[in-house]
Structures are given as structure tokens and as C-alpha cells.
Structure 1
């Protein structure tokens, strides 16, 4: 059994510090033909085949207090147990978390060599917000895969001790404090989404965090955003302006722009943060949507693997849907609306023109124009005034229309406002704020309004 005895001894010595809680296992089925060993802190099941020179060891650890999230519990256990045992450089490949009976489970694995033989280590950590329990699997062969799978499936963890309810799917909770945010005079400067991401208003970006990773949604910048006639030059210029000032050094830097009708800007490097002194893996990204809505996004992860586990591996296909998850991070620029935030005048302007040309002669066939101006003015006592003016038609025959109303509004919740009269009847709109540098955009339905001083 290649080095397995020494590895198990290391396991036992590492985990003698376990707390006095019992195992949180309701039932499990011992694999047939496996040897069972017990200690004050572990249950171990081993099997080896001398002829095939293969082995497998499964170790269950007694429950210990949960430190935080299942991902953080897993990371702590991996560093304190696995890295001491098999390799100082072993990094886990993570699988998606699973939830069952109130327990969240994180699984990761890595390969390593012992005495010239390649082996694999699996770590499974389950947390119920009160306690955590871990299972470690060591093997140098895939012949035990079925037995391992059956054993894992036989384990039933006791019902979670936590009674805390999780947010309803697709809802957001704006009450939990996340971290220090910029006080810009609005009621809500953080948003906690039910998928684990938290958005925080900052001076020059929206900081979106989850566990030990964060993403910076840089605000629009007229100078930087317009510097795009040369895609590579534009990417390097934006990197120098938005990314580089926060770091003291960079290694393994690569710029990988992709040309398409909706081009991709992608750059990566291992960087040392000035603020913390930590080495992080940074990806700088922008998708140039045809609508012009693309934004620069800075991804800051502990390492390349954790980034790829979250967003996938870099692809040189500009049209691949794999870019959507990265681009869609801009959707986390979303903040709730309070009645006190609305007071004042908010306005939205739009104009556009379509030029027509005769397909046969090439002669000018006229231009069709459209322009609109819409305003909300919110006053005391939840009163409002609303007006909309529209001018449209072919040049020389433009028609003008206008409509207005007034009444009272009601903030139904942090994301909906009801107006007593819009074009002759009550209407309820979804409402939210998005942030730009020094200001906010109020969205009423699908229309964005800027505040008029």
C-alpha cells in the first residue's frame, strides 16, 4: 500500500484537535470487504489490492464548528489537512455546491504523486451554518469508483440545526450589511442577491463580492470608452487607466482581444495588490455590444483555477456564449429605491434619425426622425407630476404630441412604485437604481431617468 499508512498516521495526528461534537451522520453503509478503523476524531475505511498494487482510504472526521460559508470551510480544511498531507502546491478542482436536508456540500479534488505513483485526493465538506463535517478520500486507482459512490450515497446527514430561512429565488435582500460602501445620499448602497453575490457602491465602480472573490464594474468613462479605434491599443490604454494603478507588480500578463461585430477585450495577469500585499489573479474584460452598452469589468480571484471554476476557461471564439456570464455581471449594478430618494425632477431624453436612399437612383429619399422628452417631478406628500413630449415623422412633416398627468405615488416595496394616474389610469412600474460616477440613474420600467439639478 504505497505510503498509505504514513498518510493515515498524518491524518490522525492532524485531526486530534477536533472538537467534542459527535458525528452528524444519521446512517451510512460500510463498504463490503473494507477494514474499519476508529479514533476519537475519525472513522476510517480502507481497502487495498496487493496484486494490483492499488489502495483506497475513506476518512470521516467528527463535526466541528462551522467557520462561515461552505466554500470557506472547504478552503480552510484543504489548507490545514490536504496541503500538509500530500503536497504544498496541490490546488483543488472544485465541483458545484449541492444542498440537501439543510446541508451545503462542497467537493474538490487534486492529483498528486507518492513514490512515483499518481494518486488522487478528494475532500468533501458539508456545512449547516452551525457545524461542518468533512470526508477525505485517497486512492491511486479508479477501480474503487463504484464502491466510493455507493458509500457516499448511503450517508445521510442529520437534519440541519439551522432554522434560518434562505431568500426566495430571484429575490434580493437589501437589509444585511455587507461591507463599507460609499455614502452617496441614497437609502440603499448595498444589495445582497440570493445567489451569493453582494453589490456595494464605491467611488469609481460597483464592487460585487462573493466569498473570497470580487468583481469591479467600472463606471462609464467617456475618454477610456471611446478609445477603441484600435482594439489592442484601447485594451492596453484601459488597463493602464483602470487596472494598473491598484497593483504594485504583474507577472504572466497577456492581452487577448478578439475581433468580431461584437468584439471582446480580454487581459489577464497575476498581480500584487497595493492595499493588501496579496497576489491575485486579475482578468480585465469588456464585450463591445452593438448597442454600445458594454462596460469594463475587472475580475479579482485568488488564482486562475478559481476564476475558471466560476466563469469558464478562456476561449478564442468571440461569438461563443461562454462570454455571456462575464458580460452579465453588469446586471449586479442594481439598487433598491426608497420614497425619500425620489424627491426632485428626473428626466429622460431620446432622439434618433433614419436616412432613406432610393435603391435604384441613389437619390436622397428623406429622413425620418424621432425625439422624446419624459419627466417625473416628485414632491412632498408623495405627489408627482409626469409629462411626455414626442416629435416624430419625416423632415418637413414632423408631428408633435404631448401628454401629462399628476397624482400620488406609493412605494409598494423597494423595487416597485405605483402611480395613481399615468395616461388616465393607475400604473405600477418596476423601479431600481443603477450607478454611474457621481450620480444614479432611476429606472422606471424600461426607461432610465437622470436627476435634474
Structure 2
């Protein structure tokens, strides 16, 4: 196949090039007249000839943290950029291996079907053991070979990252945005919680950080990417690994991604040995399930992690997620009366469709919704309102209630209201932190208390 020889011209790149562009680690000259497409983690240049029914595309994909060596990087990139999106074979037809400007450079080819026509694909990856960046060439014809040759010959790449293990010098910076690890002053009275079983939680700008002994837990705040639809479980895990974990480290080894979707609330899990910017290597695991949010656990070694959480290297369904899931309970902070001032709103809705288990026939529905408001004023006054609607097979019953009065604080973890639904009520109360604010949780004491790590210090 002709496209394989394109990779050889990379070694002949010399001098400067007109209209040179830069994306992440690569500089290059795109083909003149091709359409530029900007995506979240890549840019592409494409051309279509509707008369000849031919097309071609070049995509440059944003760099990610290396998986430790060139072979692991290329295998991962081939799966993510060739096999999964285009259905090429599990292994490339050929792999060309070179060294370019201090980087390992591998290139492999494959075939796929697009719009009922055969097409060819070449994946080319650079790796220095710290970062990996790839570009993909695709076409349904060999007619664009000269354009591909010119593009590859124009490529320039920055010098490889040198991991500096000396504490007296600063290592190279990551190309990806780094989360904010500074302390935060968000206007609330309590930004630290000392739990009575040894855990300490601190509010940070981009996460809550909790520590106990040699365990460090990073509870990442919700972000807009949580709403993305990603059909494959492992692809979603890799997406958030690159967003949340990779930017703070410079090299990685012994990657593992959990790939078994075994319940209606699948567990997302990944782990690796990572070296941070100070040259320190630690074991890092990233986890999410149901409403836990993305939780990052950092420990000296994998053996330490397995000892504490009982999670080793899962390859099938198992039930030991609870210890990791409970870590979400560390995002709890005390409440003062001044923190409550203002309006707090809670909305809820649910619906059920019923079907006959014997005939499969539709048997009706039930829907419920509610909205509840607390408004806290001066002198510890409050107004409370609730609206509910319950619909069954077309009939709806709506109700509402309201009251007002005064409240007192019972320590910093409970609120006592003078009248809710015609009687005094006490609620367990705490804040969980989110980026730029807090969520207030109120729970009637008659229903208990959620304390997976013991009580928070009063």
C-alpha cells in the first residue's frame, strides 16, 4: 500500500516552512485549500472532490500522558484512534519504527469501510516516555499522496521532555491545564473538617482534598464534561483520566482500565504508577460510580492501595466498590447561621411506566415532582415552602404547604426549626463543596445520618 512510504519522508524535514501552524507539541504546514475542523481534543484538515467522489483527511490529536513506553503508547492510540472509531483490524498491517528529534516514532496502516467504500488509514505516533501525540491520515484514494508527503515533511516537534528528579531544579511543565491545588477562601466559615476517625478534608478551588495517614483523596468537582455522552465505558474512563489526572504528572507505567459494564450503574476505574513534577512516583487510581463523582486516590504503592481498599486488578464483576464509593462522604463541611442567609431551592421529579408481566401490555404510569424552598433572613428567621404534584394515569393531585419562624443551630451540624409541617423539626445539616460555591444538605433526624467515616468533629 502506497501510504506506508509517507512516514519515511519525516526524516527529511529541514529548514522552515511557509504558513506553519502549531497545535500542542507539533508544528506543521497543512495542505493549502483544505477545510480546517476544530474539535475539543483534535484539529483536522479535510478535502472532498464531489465530482471524482474522493476525499482525504489529516487529524492531529492532542497529546496525552505516556503509558510508559512507545509500544504501549502506540497500541493504545491504535485502539482509540483506529479500531474503535473506524473498525480497522486489532493490529496494523505494518509498523514503521524510527527515531526523530529524540522522539520514538511509530507508524502503522489499516483499512476500513466508509460510506460503503474501502478507505485507508495511517496512524503515526510520537512518544518520549512522558508524552504521546499522534496524527491520523485517511483517504479513499492514493491521489492525495503528494499532499500527505508535503504535510509530513513539514512536521516539527518540540524537544522531548526530560524528567528531572532533583528537588533543586524545576522539571518541565505539562502542556495540559493543571488543576488548582491552592487553598480557597469562598466566604463560608468552615473550609476544613477534622473527622473523628482521622480523616481531614480541605476545600480547594478545583476539588476537595482529604488525607489520612498515607492516603490522599482528591474529590473532583462536577464539570461540564460530565454531561457528555460516551457510549463505551473504558472510553469515558480514559476521557476523564486525561482531564483530571494526567495534567499533574509527567510519566506513567502499568496502566490499567476496568472495562466491564456489569450493572445499571457501571463502575469506572483506572490506575497507574505516575511520576509527578517533583520526580516522585506514586500509585494513582481514578474511580466513579453512580453519584460518587470522580474520586482520585493517591498512595505510595499499589500494595498500599490494595491493603486499604481491597481493589487489586479486577477483570470481572466484583462487589468491593463500596470502600471507594464511601469516599464521596468526605466532602462534608460544617454550617454556621450566617452561611445560611439567602434562598436555597431543591427540585425533584420521577416517573414510572407499568407493564403487565404476563402479557407485556401497558398498565399505566405514575409521576411525582416536588419543589422546596428555604429562605433564611436576618435574626435567624426563615420561610419554608413546598409544592408537590402526583400524577397517575392522567389524574393529578397537587398540594403545597408553607411555614415561617425562627431557627437555632445545634452545634454546627444541625438546624432546629420552630415549625415545619405544624411542629418543631431538627435537621442534620452540612455543606458539600462545588467549584465556586456550596450545596446545602438538610436531613430530618428521624431518618438517621450518613456518616461512613464517623462523625465530623464538632
TM-score normalised by structure 1 residue count? 0.55
2:437 aligned residue: 439
2:182 touches 2:205 (CA, 8 Å); kept in 1? no
1:266 touches 1:286 (CA, 8 Å); kept in 2? yes
Kindly state the Cα deviation for residue 300 of structure 1 after the two structures are TM-superposed: 1.0
Provide Cα deviations, 1:33-82, integer angstroms capped at 9, x if missing partner.
xxxxxxxxxxxxxxxxxxxxxxxxxxxxxxxxxxxxxxxxxxxxxxxxxx
Provide Cα deviations, 1:349-384, integer angstroms capped at 9, x if missing partner.
111222234556655443321111111000000000
Gaps of 5+ in 2: 1-180, 448-458
2:260 touches 2:317 (CA, 8 Å); kept in 1? no
Kindly state the Cα deviation for residue 263 of structure 1 after the two structures are TM-superposed: 2.6
- Counterpart pick for 2:314 among 291, 316, 320: 316
Compared with structure 1, are the counterparts of its residues 345 and 204 closer, same or farther at alpha carbon in structure 2 (3 Å cutoff)? same
2:273 aligned residue: 270
Kindly state the Cα deviation for residue 309 of structure 1 after the two structures are TM-superposed: 2.5
2:222 aligned residue: 220
- Counterpart pick for 1:348 among 346, 349, 354: 346
- Give SS of 1:445's match: strand
Kindly state the Cα deviation for residue 221 of structure 1 after the two structures are TM-superposed: 2.7
Distance 2:415 2:322 in 1: 30
1:248 aligned residue: 250
1:250 touches 1:271 (CA, 8 Å); kept in 2? yes
1:235 aligned residue: 237
Compared with structure 1, are the counterparts of its residues 323 and 317 closer, same or farther at alpha carbon in structure 2 (3 Å cutoff)? farther
Distance 2:202 2:441 in 1: 18
1:272 touches 1:279 (CA, 8 Å); kept in 2? yes
Compared with structure 1, are the counterparts of its residues 199 and 360 closer, same or farther at alpha carbon in structure 2 (3 Å cutoff)? same
2:260 touches 2:315 (CA, 8 Å); kept in 1? yes
2:376 aligned residue: 378
- Counterpart pick for 1:281 among 270, 280, 283: 283
Kindly state the Cα deviation for residue 202 of structure 1 after the two structures are TM-superposed: 1.2
1:195 aligned residue: 197
1:224 touches 1:237 (CA, 8 Å); kept in 2? no
- Counterpart pick for 2:420 among 417, 422, 435: 422
RMSD: 2.2
Distance 1:254 1:272 in 2: 16
The reply on whether 1:293 has 2:295 as its aligned counterpart is no
Kindly state the Cα deviation for residue 326 of structure 1 after the two structures are TM-superposed: 1.3
Kindly state the Cα deviation for residue 282 of structure 1 after the two structures are TM-superposed: 0.9
Higher mean Cα deviation, 201-210 or 334-343? 201-210
- Give SS of 2:395's match: coil
Residues 149-164 of structure 1 mapped to structure 2, 5 A cutoff = none
- Counterpart pick for 2:398 among 400, 406, 415: 400
Distance 2:294 2:382 in 1: 36
Distance 2:319 2:359 in 1: 42
Higher mean Cα deviation, 237-246 or 349-358? 349-358
1:264 touches 1:318 (CA, 8 Å); kept in 2? no
Distance 2:358 2:256 in 1: 50
Provide Cα deviations, 1:168-219, integer angstroms capped at 9, x if missing partner.
xxxxxxxxxxx96311111101101122111111122111112343111112
How many pairs does the alignment contain? 264
Provide Cα deviations, 1:209-262, integer angstroms capped at 9, x if missing partner.
123431111122342364441011111111011110111111222223332114
Distance 2:402 2:317 in 1: 44
1:98 aligned residue: none
1:259 touches 1:318 (CA, 8 Å); kept in 2? no
Q: Which structure 1 residue ranges, 4+ long, deviate > 6 Å from structure 2?
A: none
Compared with structure 1, are the counterparts of its residues 313 and 403 closer, same or farther at alpha carbon in structure 2 (3 Å cutoff)? closer
2:127 aligned residue: none
1:257 touches 1:267 (CA, 8 Å); kept in 2? no
Distance 1:244 1:326 in 2: 20
- Counterpart pick for 2:330 among 329, 332, 342: 332
Residues 158-197 of structure 1 mapped to structure 2, 5 A cutoff = 181-197=183-199
Provide Cα deviations, 1:110-149, integer angstroms capped at 9, x if missing partner.
xxxxxxxxxxxxxxxxxxxxxxxxxxxxxxxxxxxxxxxx
2:433 touches 2:439 (CA, 8 Å); kept in 1? yes
- Give SS of 1:413's match: coil
Distance 1:229 1:294 in 2: 19
Residues 119-130 of structure 1 mapped to structure 2, 5 A cutoff = none
